[in-house]
C-alpha cells in the first residue's frame, strides 16, 4: 500500500508552494506546511511541530486546519488509529466546506490503510455521488485521485485509469501533472500493460522531478526497475535503483525504502550475489512498515530462506520459510479483502438502489390500489396482475444479487487463469484435510509440480501462449485426480496436489501418469507444437508428519532434486537419504 502516494493526491493537488520564511503568521505557516508536505516532508514535520508547541494563538478554523495537517502527518508515519479522531473532529465541527471535504477524503485513505476496506469504499461511493455538486477544483482533483488509487488497489484497473485521466483534466500546475501521470502509470503497471522501455515511465519521472515530488518519481522508478527484473535485465534495474537509492532514503517513507531494498535483493539473487542479496533482504525487513504484511516483506523473507538453504543452514532456512509463509499469506489475504470489500459495497449500493425502486413501486401500487378500489371487478384483476409482475421483478433482482454475491465468494477462492484453488485456499483446505488424516490415522501425500523451462515458452511465444500452456497442463492433471484430491496453483508455473488416503506406491503411480499426460499434451490445438514437461517432488506424512509446512519443504527438496537430475521426472523425498535443494 502506497500511503504517501495516495495521501499526496488528497491534499494540495494544485496548491502553489508558499516560500519558506521565518514568519510567525499562523495562517501563512499553515499554508506553507500544506504546500510542501509531499515535496519536503522533513520541513513539513518541523512546521507542524512548531505550530503545535502552543506559542501561537490560532483562531478556531486555524486550529481545525492544524488538526487536519497533523492527521496527515500521523497517517504518513503509519499511526492510522490516532489520525482518524482528528479528521472526524474536522469533518463534524469545521465551518469550512472545502476543509471538511479534504478531511473526509483523507479519512477514506486512512480507513484503507487501517484495513477497514468496506467502510472506506462506502465513503468513497458517497464522495463520488457528491462530486457533481463540488465546485472547488482542488477538492474535485483530490477525490478523483483517491478514486483512481483505490480502484487500482481493488484490481479495477480500467476504472483507475479512467479516474486518473479525469484527474489530469481537472488538476493544474506541475504537481498535478506529476500526480496524474503517476496514477496512470501505477494502474497500467499493476495490470501488466506497460513494458520496461515504455516512454510513460520517463515522462512521469521527468514530470515529478520537475515538480520536486521525490516520493512519486521514485515509485515510478521502482515500477520500471521491477519490470526490468521480470525480464532478466538485472544490471539495468540495479543501476536505476542504486542511482536513486539515497533520494528514496531521504523521503523517510518506509514502504518505498523497503520496496527498493527488496527489489535490489531480488536482482542480486538472480545475479548469484549471495552477500548483497542477504544484505538488502535484511534492510528490506528493517525498513518495512511495522505490523503490516507487504509484498517487499514477503519477498525479503523468501530470499533469506533461499540464501540460508544455499548456505546449508537448514535451521535458519526453516525459520525464514515459516516467516515467509506467514507474510505471504497475510499479503494475499489483504489483496483478497480489498477486492471483496469493493464487490460487497458495489452489491450494497445496487441493493440500496433496488430498495428505493421497490419502495417507489410499492407507493405506486398503493396509489393504484386506491384507484382500483373505485372501479369494477375487471379492473381489480388488472391490479393483481400488475402486483404479481412487480413482485416477480423484485424476486428476480433479489435472486440475481444473491447469485452475484455467491459468485464473488467463489472467485475469491479460485485462481483467475486456471480455475483451480489459489494458493491461499489450497493451503487452508490442505491443512484441514491433514488434520482429518492425523485424527483418523490415515496416510496422505503432497506433490509439488513445476513446469520445465516455462520461462522459455513465455519469452519465445508470449504470455498469451504461456497462459494456454498452463491451462493445458492443469487439464492434463485434472484427468487423473479424484474428487477428494486437493489441487491448487501456488504461483507462476508451480502447482500443489494433496492426495489423502493414498499409499506412496499409489501416489507415485498416479504422479507418473500425470507426468506422461503433461508430456504428451504438446499437440493441443490451442498451442500446437510447443512441447512441455514437468518435474515432480513428493513427500508423505509417514516420513514428514502432518504439518503442511514440513511437507512443502520436503516436497520442494525432492522437486529440486528432480530438476537437477534432468527434469521431466518424479522424485520422492526419503528420510534415509535427505537431500539439499540447490539453486
pLDDT of residue 5: 41
Model confidence pLDDT, tens digit, residues 61-82: 888 999 989 988 888 777 888 8
CATH number of 1-189: 1.25.40
pLDDT-above-90 percentage for the chain: 37
For 481-490, the pLDDT digits (tens) are 999 999 999 9
pLDDT of residue 406: 64
Q: Which CATH class is domain 423-572?
A: alpha beta
Q: Cell 384483476 maps to which residue? A: 381
Instruction: Assign domain 194-198+214-311 one CATH number from 3.90.79.10, 1.25.40.10, 1.10.10.10, 3.40.50.300.
Output: 1.25.40.10
Q: What is the pLDDT of residue 196?
A: 65
pLDDT of residue 257: 93
Residue 410 has pLDDT above 70, yes or no: no
pLDDT higher than threshold 60 for residue 189: yes
Distance CA(502)–CA(484), nearest Å, equals 11
Cβ contact 494:448 at 8 Å: yes
pLDDT category of residue 506 using cuts at 50, 70 and 90: very high
Confidence of residue 175 (pLDDT cuts 50, 70, 90): confident
* Model pLDDT for residues 258-315, shown as the tens digit of each residue: 999 999 999 999 999 999 999 999 999 998 877 778 889 999 999 999 999 999 999 9
Coil, helix or strand at residue 32? helix
Q: In the predicted model, what is the mean pLDDT of residues 322-349?
A: 82
Instruction: Establish whether domains 1-189 and 423-572 are of one fold.
Output: no
Q: What pLDDT is stored for residue 407 in this prediction?
A: 66
* Residue 572 pLDDT grade (very low, low, confident, very high; cuts 50, 70, 90): very high
Long-range contacts made by residues 32-38, C-beta under 8 angstroms, separation at least 24?
33/69, 34/69, 37/8, 37/11, 37/12, 37/69, 37/72, 37/73, 37/76, 38/4, 38/7, 38/8, 38/12, 38/175, 38/213, 38/215, 38/216
- Give the pLDDT band of residue 9 (cuts 50, 70, 90): very low
**Percent of the chain surpassing pLDDT 70:** 90
DSSP 36-47: HTTT-HHHHHHH
Q: Is 478 exposed, middle or buried (0-12, 13-18, 19+ CB in 10 A)?
A: middle
Reply yes or no on whether the pLDDT at 13 is more than 70. Answer: no
Closest to 13 measured CA to CA, from 121, 118, 144: 144
Q: For the chain, what are the domain ranges?
A: 1-189, 194-198+214-311, 333-411, 423-572
* 8 A C-beta contact, residue 473 and residue 451: yes
pTM greater than the 0.75 cutoff: no
Q: Calculate mean pLDDT across residues 401-428.
A: 80
Which pLDDT does position 399 carry in this prediction?
Answer: 79
pLDDT of residue 10: 41
Average pLDDT over residues 108-129: 82
Per-residue pLDDT at 20 exceeds 70: no
Confidence category of residue 238, pLDDT binned at 50, 70, 90: very high
Mean pLDDT confidence for 93-115: 84
Instruction: Taking residues 433-440, report their average pLDDT.
Output: 94
Distances (CA, A) of 518 to 125, 469, 478, 494: 47, 10, 11, 14
Amino acid at each position: 500500500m502506497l500511503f504517501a502516494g495516495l495521501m499526496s493526491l488528497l491534499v494540495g493537488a494544485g496548491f502553489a508552494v508558499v516560500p519558506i520564511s521565518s514568519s510567525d503568521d499562523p495562517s501563512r505557516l499553515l499554508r506553507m506546511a500544506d504546500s510542501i508536505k509531499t515535496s519536503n516532508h522533513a520541513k513539513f514535520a518541523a512546521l507542524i511541530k512548531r505550530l503545535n508547541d502552543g506559542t501561537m494563538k490560532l483562531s478556531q478554523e486555524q486550529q481545525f486546519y492544524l488538526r487536519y495537517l497533523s492527521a496527515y502527518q500521523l497517517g504518513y508515519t503509519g499511526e492510522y488509529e490516532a489520525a482518524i479522531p482528528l479528521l472526524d473532529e474536522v469533518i463534524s465541527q469545521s465551518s469550512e466546506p472545502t476543509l471538511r471535504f479534504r478531511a473526509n477524503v483523507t479519512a477514506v485513505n486512512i480507513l484503507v490503510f487501517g484495513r477497514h476496506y468496506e467502510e472506506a469504499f462506502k465513503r468513497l461511493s458517497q464522495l463520488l455521488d457528491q462530486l457533481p455538486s463540488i465546485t472547488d477544483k482542488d477538492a474535485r482533483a483530490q477525490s478523483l485521485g483517491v478514486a483512481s488509487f483505490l480502484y487500482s488497489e481493488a484490481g479495477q484497473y480500467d476504472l483507475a485509469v479512467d479516474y486518473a485521466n479525469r484527474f489530469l483534466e481537472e488538476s493544474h500546475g506541475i504537481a498535478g501533472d506529476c500526480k496524474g501521470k503517476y496514477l496512470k502509470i501505477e494502474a497500467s503497471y499493476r495490470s501488466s500493460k506497460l513494458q520496461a522501455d515504455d516512454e510513460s515511465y520517463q515522462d512521469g519521472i521527468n514530470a515529478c522531478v520537475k515538480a520536486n515530488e521525490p516520493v512519486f518519481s521514485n515509485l515510478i522508478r521502482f515500477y520500471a526497475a521491477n519490470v526490468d527484473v521480470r525480464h532478466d535485465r538485472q544490471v539495468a534495474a540495479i543501476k536505476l535503483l542504486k542511482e536513486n537509492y539515497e533520494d528514496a532514503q531521504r523521503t523517510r517513507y518506509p514502504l518505498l525504502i523497503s520496496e527498493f531494498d527488496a527489489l535490489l535483493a531480488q536482482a542480486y539473487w538472480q545475479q548469484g550475489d549471495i552477500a548483497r542479496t542477504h544484505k538488502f533482504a535484511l534492510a528490506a525487513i528493517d525498513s518495512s512498515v511495522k505490523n503490516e504484511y507487504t509484498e517487499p516483506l514477503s519477498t525479503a523473507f523468501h530470499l533469506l530462506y533461499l540464501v540460508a538453504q544455499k548456505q546449508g543452514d537448514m535451521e535458519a532456512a526453516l525459520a525464514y520459510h515459516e516467516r515467509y509463509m506467514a507474510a505471504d499469506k497475510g499479503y494475499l489475504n489483504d489483496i483478497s479483502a480489498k477486492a471483496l470489500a469493493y464487490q460487497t459495497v458495489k452489491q450494497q449500493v445496487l441493493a440500496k438502489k433496488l430498495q428505493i425502486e421497490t419502495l417507489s413501486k410499492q407507493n405506486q401500487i398503493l396509489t393504484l390500489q386506491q384507484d382500483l378500489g373505485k372501479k369494477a371487478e375487471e379492473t381489480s384483476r388488472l391490479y393483481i396482475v400488475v402486483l404479481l409482475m412487480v413482485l416477480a421483478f423484485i424476486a428476480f433482482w433479489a435472486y440475481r444479487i444473491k447469485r452475484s454475491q455467491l459468485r464473488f465468494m467463489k472467485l475469491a477462492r479460485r485462481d483467475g487463469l486456471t480455475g483451480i484453488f489459489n494458493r491461499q485456499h489450497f493451503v487452508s483446505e490442505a491443512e484441514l484435510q491433514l488434520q482429518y488424516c492425523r485424527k483418523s490415522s490415515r496416510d496422505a501425500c503432497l506433490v509439488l509440480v513445476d513446469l520445465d523451462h516455462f520461462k522459455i515458452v513465455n519469452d519465445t511465444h508470449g504470455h498469451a501462449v504461456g497462459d494456454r500452456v498452463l491451462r493445458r497442463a492443469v487439464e492434463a492433471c485434472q484427468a487423473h485426480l479424484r474428487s477428494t484430491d486437493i489441487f491448487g496453483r501456488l504461483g507462476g508455473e508451480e502447482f500443489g496436489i494433496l492426495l489423502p488416503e493414498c499409499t506412496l506406491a499409489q501416489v507415485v503411480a498416479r504422479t507418473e501418469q500425470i507426468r506422461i499426460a503433461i508430456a504428451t499434451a504438446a499437440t493441443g490445438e490451442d498451442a500446437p507444437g510447443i512441447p512441455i514437461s514437468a518435474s515432480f517432488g513428493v513427500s508423505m506424512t509417514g516420513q514428514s508428519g502432518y504439518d503442511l509446512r514440513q511437507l512443502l519443504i520436503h516436497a520442494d527438496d525432492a522437486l529440486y532434486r528432480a530438476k537437477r537430475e534432468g527434469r521431466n521426472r518424479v522424485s520422492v523425498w526419503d528420510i534415509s537419504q535427505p537431500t539439499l535443494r540447490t539453486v
